[in-house]
Amino acid sequence: MTKSSTDVAYIPLSVPEIRGNEWKYVKDCLDTGWVSSVGVYVCRFEQMVAQTVGMRTAVATSSGTAALHIALLVSGVQPDDEVLVSTLTFIAPVNAIRYADAWPVLIDAEPQFWQIDPQKLTDFLRNNCYLSNGELRNRKTERRVKAILPVHILGHPADMNAIVSLAREFGLVVIEDATECLGAKYRGHSAGTLGDIACFSFNGNKIITTGGGGMIVTSNAEWAARARYLTTQAKDDPTEFVHGEIGYNYRLTNIQAAMGCGQIEMLGAYIDKKRRIAAHYEFGLKEIPGITSMPQAPWAESIFWLYTMLVDEDRFGMNARRLVKELDTRGIQSRPLWQPMHRSPVHCRAEASPCETADLLHARALSLPCSVGLTEADQEHVITSIAHAAHAQ
Ligand SMILES: Cc1ncc(COP(=O)(O)O)c(C=O)c1O
């Protein structure tokens, strides 16, 4: 029997897919009592992520946000330093900069692939900064500029060659926020291997999940060792409880890691499914006036983590916010992109490049259901509902 639009259940934006060995591995933790942050699955999950990404070392953390916080600390970001970061992002990396007592400088997105704009980064570095005694300083604030933190948004990598060569020219560290990009490639190289250190998230909405969790990857053995130390309360002597510094309780638990081991075994299949979903949307949406499909650069292999389209109000007949409501009445969850950080009540006072592209994308972008378990019938329902919404105008 085929599903009609009236008997389709509510279609969520993105929900986890748990169909592998997760139960088996988690049960093993419960049966053996290894439930906390020590246990074989934590190390196994670290190795699996390192191998998947193609990086020497991985350090498991309790969240992607914790991973970012520690990555900033181990890569040498000091209090009062400045870090150049994407304005069009989920808030976590910008908050993490503040956790490190550093300051974000917000850089616009580029209009083609929606990632941090290398030209605006260049403009900021060349026009607003100067080199003094081997350190880069912001002319206006006189603070040291220490790092670039590009966020690969929605499963698509940023244009990293341009970013890394700027970083090398100006002596900056590159911290990749690859939390939305596990498995994506840039010119044949995995996201997470393109800068000096990178972070992943295994939050419930990510392509694979541990419920909550994160990972730092780096080929710098010293930074990795320090990350391990800081994420486990900076213990110098675990028997005598001697702590050499203020550390953090940021280690992933064995139960979460066990789930991660089950999930990462399925990553290849999940990425294939995300790409099929994207291809189906692209085909189904291309005839609808005013809708622009999610882009993919010729140099990128996107994982299309969260399928997102643009809605041009003038040509489509309604704006993206109205369409969210229309789709909701048809049992479909959709969602605009994050409020850009230069508009955020907590970060709007940060220095920023001109950010008109992020504003435009924020006004027009709409993420559509794209769970790995999405059926073709449900996806057809989403596509026809968008087409009907336009015709119903
Ligand atoms: C771009 C980005 N950075 C960081 C994070 C933070 O990860 P977590 O939720 O695991 O702390 C997320 C998502 O949650 C994210 O989308």
321-378 pLDDT, tens digit each? 999 999 999 999 999 999 999 999 999 999 999 999 999 999 999 999 999 999 999 9
10 Å Cβ neighbour count for 22?
A: 21
Query: Taking a C-beta distance cutoff of 8 angstroms, is the pair 57, 47 a contact?
Result: no
Q: Which atom of ligand 1 is nearest to the CA of 67?
A: 11
Q: How far is the CA of 15 from the centre of ligand 1 (A)?
A: 15
What pLDDT does 2 receive?
36
Question: The whole model's pTM is what?
Answer: 0.96
For ligand 1, is residue 256 a contact (CB within 6 Å)? no
Q: How far is the CA of 62 from the centre of ligand 1 (A)?
A: 11
Q: What separation in angstroms does the CA of 70 have from each of 86, 147, 180, 197?
A: 19, 14, 18, 10
The C-alpha atoms of residue 100 and residue 81 are separated, in whole angstroms, by 9
For ligand 1, is residue 155 a contact (CB within 6 Å)? no
Q: Which pair of tokens denotes residue 105?
A: 């400088």
Q: pLDDT tens digit string along 83-115? A: 999 999 999 999 999 999 999 999 999 999 999
Query: Taking a C-beta distance cutoff of 8 angstroms, is the pair 358, 88 a contact?
Result: yes
What pLDDT does 5 receive?
44
Inter-helix orientation angle 22-32/254-264, to 10°? 160
Q: How far is the CA of 156 from the centre of ligand 1 (A)?
A: 15
